[in-house]
Homo-oligomer: A and B are copies of this chain.
């Protein structure tokens, strides 16, 4: 692991262990340099990472401060798809409905940048947080990149698997959000009524080289899904 990542982790851990609150001041840059015995730019990179994650904010001439949002129940929009699971101590489980190899339809193929004759894995799950229905997920993986999946893998975190077992690293993703009404089928999976409100999120996950490898459609249970986004400044 890179130095600046390691340091970022340690600082974040320190914040959590000490139960620091919004506005609490952290040691100054120079002290961190000495403490971790690295150059200023390495500390700066670590802090920049934490700033992007919404863990701290920096104020020139003043110091480095803890940043915290104050709504414990809310999930980070960027943590649902396996990214860092900062759900706190809540447990995420899954009912696997389908894992199969198939040919994609035109829409799926286009979103994945492949042809309709290329193979994809189709995964369908219902996901729960502490036993409550969170969402219904329909997800397509490019088989050329993710050559094998099964129900055990899919019941756990798919992203952990592709990353650790296949060495596939996620580069970036495009998320499309939309509010809509549930269809009858979706409502059944979520334990809701047809035409109930829902948040639909389509996401296209890309490798670091820009190639799409996962296209997923998630339908959220409106009563059990509250999200937080911690944004930074005019430039984000």
Interface size on A, residues (CB 8 A): 53
In the assembled complex, A148 has its CB within 8 A of some CB on chain B: no
Contact present for A59 and B210 (CB under 8 Å):
yes
- A84 contact set on B, CB distance < 8 A: 234-235
What is the oligomeric copy number? 2
In the assembled complex, A188 has its CB within 8 A of some CB on chain B: no
Question: Complex: how many Å from CA A49 to CA B234?
Answer: 11
Question: Complex: how many Å from CA A221 to CA B74?
Answer: 22
Residues of chain A from 66 to 91 with CB closer than 8 A to chain B in the complex: 67, 69, 71, 74, 77-78, 83-84
- When each residue 214-233 of chain A gets 1 if its CB lies under 8 Å from chain B and 0 otherwise, what string results? 00000010100111111111
- A40 contact set on B, CB distance < 8 A: none
Spell out A's residues near B (CB within 8 Å).
22-23, 49, 52-54, 57, 59, 62, 65, 67, 69, 71, 74, 77-78, 83-84, 169-181, 196-199, 206, 208-210, 220, 222, 225-236
Sampled A-B contacts (18; CB under 8 Å): A23-B210, A52-B235, A71-B176, A78-B236, A84-B234, A169-B234, A170-B233, A172-B230, A172-B232, A174-B231, A175-B229, A177-B228, A177-B229, A178-B226, A179-B179, A179-B220, A197-B197, A197-B222
